[in-house]
Every structure is written in structure tokens, then in C-alpha cells.
Amino acid sequence: MLVPPAPQELDRAAAGTWLRWHALLSSIRTFSPSAFVRSPTVILLLAGLILPNLLSLASLASFIDVGLPPRTGCIIFYATLAICARRLPFVVTGILFVVVLGFDLIWTLALMFGLAPSELLVALNHAKRIHFFASPLYMSLIVVMLTTTLSTLYLLAQRKKLVQGNIYVLFVATLAFASLDYISNVSPHYQYGSMFGRNVPVVSAADASGFNAVAGTNGKNVILVIVESLGYLIDPGQRARVDSPLSDPRIAKKYVVTTGAATYYGSTTSGEMRELCETRSFYGDYAPKYGYSCLPELLHRRGYASMAVHSFTGSMFERNKWYPRVGFDKEVFGDQIIKQTGRMCGSAFRGACDADLGPVIAKEARQLAPPDKPRFIYWLTLNTHIPVAPGDARTNFHCEGAGNPFHQPVVCRMAELWHDFFGTVTQLALDPAVGPAEILIVGDHAPPLWSKRGRAMFAAGKVAWYRLTPRTDAAVSNPDHGASGMAYR
């Protein structure tokens, strides 16, 4: 049988409840944000978790479209350092922090841009040729990194405060965030760096399309174009917008166009070695020893004169040195091109405008050799290198409006430039100085976008390719491509 509580017990219970609510309300009224921020545990969390991982934290917010590869090890390293900093001299802490930060940057950028760590160090050696401060994106990232680094070092110097902080709170928060970061950011898009493809057989677009089997066998000019960041858009309607210049009736009259997707590993130079030399070896190691096996040299032995064209400086990745070693007779780089076109494009990677290169390539092709000598023209594009400068394209897809057909402005701006490029290829294919020619167009790698939604628009690990075969040879030079290729027109 239930017995009701005595009146005095009810009074004591009510008094206890009132006291608890009064204490809570008092704590709310006396809460000081500045005191909270200065609390030892908050300082420990800021120094060991929040500030060093600010961009990764931002990537967890759905309203901020930032994508980074998982940084599980780096997150744990920063937290461990904050705990150790309570007992270490600050000089030692500072040195260890710089080491962890260096590892973090190399790891993250290598996965972002598809580079092996050794290749990233080579790229950093060429960083002086890149106009980082011309890009608002890179400028913002540099400012954020410097701010968080200095702020973290300042907090790590507060040893007395760190000692008073609750390391168990930091430990639990670090494990939770590292797990959430991995679940949120793990993606197949980060699995196609050059260090992941070393034991995977090379299948180039030049082979998959049938281009290699025909190039140089019929005396026609040969053109190979590697297009910066031409990934394989998942949406066929978006692909059709990009490559619509190939639908020109004049192209259909003279060429059979086939298209497909090829697997890539690594960055731009990896794409070059894949298509020119059928290898994933580093260009600096391969070209001096085995350059004789690459396509320019093979065509040279078949009587072809060859030239390479690139809108950027020839010293970037030492192209002015290794291009001749794989068999090119002539190289035309950005400084020479700009003298002829009088226009520059790009932001961080500023050089000649790809859309202007049609007349330049045709002119250089005429001068390369006598009319009766076949030519091999290799063109590496530039302007769709991340970050893309707005306003350079001649095409207008209304990227900033509600009717943006690519949804993401950064992808739309790249699509405008790709569309311009295909227009230039159409112009070249119909120029009597060049065509009719055996033509292959292929991407080097998918766009290494900082936008998570932007990356998701492209098939992971795939680049698009297009082959233009002169009509007279189409019946014998276009094999059944199966899943990797299909007739376009």
C-alpha cells in the first residue's frame, strides 16, 4: 500500500528543487564568455583539437562546402602534443608542432592533388612560379593557416593553464572528432594519387581508344592533347554541354568521334607520362633512361617531326629539359605564345590563353617541317588548373545565376573553359595545315577541387577521352571499345 509523503518531506523536496533551479539560474546569470574561454580545459581543447583542425571541422558543416581527406593521424598527433606540452619546454613543443604541421600539410596536399610526397616536394620547389596571392581561395587558406598556427603556438605556451586542463575531455573529444572526420570525409576521390597506382597496370586512353595502334601508320598528322583537370562528369547532359563544339556538322563530315573514360593515377605529369610513355614512373627518372620508348621518339623514327605546346613556363616541372629527351624536336611555351596572342589567362597559374592557341599551333605546325613531312603535335592545356580565374572564358554558361547548369560555380567556370577548348580543337581539326589528323583528347586527372560537392560531380578515378578519326580510316581504326568507349557521332 502506497503511503503519501509527510507534509514536511514535501517541503524539503520542494526546497531542494528550488535550490537547484536557483543555482542553475544564478550560474547562467553570472556566466562570463571571457572566463569560459580562459578556462584551462577550453584552452587545452583549442590548442590540441579545434585550432589545428579548423578546416576539417568546417568540412563537417553541411552549409560550408569544404572537402578535405581524412586526417585521423594528424588529429591524434595534435592532441597528443597538447598533452605533452604541459611538461615540455616550449622550444621543444614548438619544434614538435612544426614537425606535425609539416607532416599534416604534406599528407593533406598529397591526397588532395594526387601527388606522392616526393612529387609534392618537387612541386614546392617550383612554387615560386605560382601566383598564390592572385587567387582569393589560396590567399584565404594561407591567412587561415597562419592565424591558426600562431594562435595554437600561443596557447601551447600557456603551460600552467594546460596542466590544469582536463586531459580526459580532450581525449574523448579527439577520438569522437577523428571518427566523425573519417566517416564524413573518406572518399574514393582521394585514392588515385600516384603513390596508390604503382602496382596497377597502366591502361592509357591512347591504348583504350585505339589511337596508339593507328598513330603514325598512315602518314597523317597526329595530335595528342592532354586537358588540365578534364575529369569524367557523371551527368551526360553536362558532358554534352562541354563537348558540344564536336557536334559541328563540318566535324561530322570529316571525322568519326568516339568517347569514353580512362583510369588515372596521380597529377598532371603522371597523366603526361601515362599517355606519352605508357608508364607511371616519375618523369625525372624515366625520360633520361627510357625516353626512346615514348610516343614522340617512336613517331620520329617513322619520319614525323614533333612539337610540344604548353601555355605555362617551360621550367615548371622541367618540361623544357625532359620534353627533348622523349623525342620532341621543338617546344613552344607560354612566353613565346603570349608574344603572338597578346593575352594572358589564369590566376595562380597565369599563362597564355588556351582558347587563343588554334592559330598559333597551326602556324608553328607549318614552320615545323616541309609540307610533305608528317607532324606530331602535343598540346598540354593550362587554364582549367585549380583555382580557375572567373571571366577568362568566351563561353557563358551563366555560372553565377540560378540557371547554372552545373550547379557549382567553380565547376561551371571550368566547363566554360573546356567548351572554349573544344571549339579550338574543332578549329584545328578543320585547318588544312593540320587536318585531317589522328586526334586524341584526354584529361590528365579529375579536378582536385576543395569543394566536396564539386568533386562528387565527377566519376572517381576517371578522366574523359575523345578520339577524332578521319572518315577514310574510321572503318579500320576504331575497334569495339566495349564499356570504355562509345560512338559519339
pLDDT score, position 131: 74
Say if residues 409 and 339 touch (Cβ distance below 8 Å): no
Domain ranges of the chain: 38-186, 194-487
Kindly indicate the confidence band of residue 138, based on its pLDDT and cuts at 50, 70 and 90: confident
Pairing of strands 437-443, 221-227: parallel
Instruction: Identify which of 102-116, 193-207, 270-284 has the greatest average pLDDT.
Output: 270-284
pLDDT surpassing 70 at residue 29: no
pLDDT score, position 33: 55
Kindly indicate the confidence band of residue 31, based on its pLDDT and cuts at 50, 70 and 90: very low
| Average confidence (pLDDT) over 188-214 | 89
| Average confidence (pLDDT) over 459-465 | 96
Contacts of residue 27, defined as CB under 8 A and 6 or more positions apart, other chains included, come to none
| Average confidence (pLDDT) over 274-284 | 94
Distance CA 140, CA 330 (A): 39
For residue 358, give the nearest of 411, 271, 429 by alpha carbon: 429
For residue 194, give the nearest of 308, 136, 271 by alpha carbon: 271
| Average pLDDT of every residue of the chain | 87
Q: For residue 438, list its beta bridge partners.
A: 222
Q: For residue 221, list its beta bridge partners.
A: 437
Distance CA 437, CA 70 (A): 45
Say if residues 104 and 110 touch (Cβ distance below 8 Å): no
pLDDT surpassing 70 at residue 478: no
The cell numbers describing 126, all together, are: 617550383
pLDDT surpassing 70 at residue 228: yes
Kindly indicate the confidence band of residue 479, based on its pLDDT and cuts at 50, 70 and 90: very low
Kindly indicate the confidence band of residue 486, based on its pLDDT and cuts at 50, 70 and 90: low
Q: What is the pLDDT of residues 435-444, one digit of tens each?
A: 899 999 999 9
pLDDT surpassing 60 at residue 240: yes
Say if residues 286 and 293 touch (Cβ distance below 8 Å): no
Say if residues 204 and 420 touch (Cβ distance below 8 Å): no
DSSP line for 218-244: SS-EEEEEEETT-EEES-HHHHHHHTG
Q: What angle do CA 43, 48, 53 make, to 5 degrees?
A: 115
Q: What is the pLDDT of residues 446-459, one digit of tens each?
A: 999 988 899 999 99
C-alpha of 429 from chain center? 29
For residue 70, give the nearest of 164, 209, 212, 189 by alpha carbon: 189
pLDDT surpassing 60 at residue 354: yes
Kindly indicate the confidence band of residue 84, based on its pLDDT and cuts at 50, 70 and 90: very high
| Average confidence (pLDDT) over 307-329 | 95
| Average confidence (pLDDT) over 206-211 | 96
Q: What is the pLDDT of residues 159-185, one digit of tens each?
A: 999 999 999 999 999 999 999 999 998
Question: Domain 194-487 adopts which CATH fold?
Answer: Alkaline Phosphatase, subunit A (3.40.720)
Kindly indicate the confidence band of residue 356, based on its pLDDT and cuts at 50, 70 and 90: very high
The cell numbers describing 365, all together, are: 605546325
pLDDT score, position 9: 52
pLDDT surpassing 70 at residue 287: yes
pLDDT score, position 417: 96
For residue 375, give the nearest of 296, 431, 309, 428 by alpha carbon: 296
The 10 Å Cβ neighbour count of residue 102 is: 10
Kindly indicate the confidence band of residue 24, based on its pLDDT and cuts at 50, 70 and 90: very low
pLDDT surpassing 80 at residue 422: yes
Distance CA 192, CA 195 (A): 8
HSE at residue 97, side-chain half, CA atoms within 13 A, is: 27
> Which pTM was predicted?
0.86
Q: What is the pLDDT of residues 100-120, one digit of tens each?
A: 999 999 889 888 888 877 777
Kindly indicate the confidence band of residue 298, based on its pLDDT and cuts at 50, 70 and 90: very high
For residues 402 and 315, which has the higher predicted lDDT (pLDDT)? Answer: 315
pLDDT score, position 443: 97
% of the chain with per-residue pLDDT over 70: 87
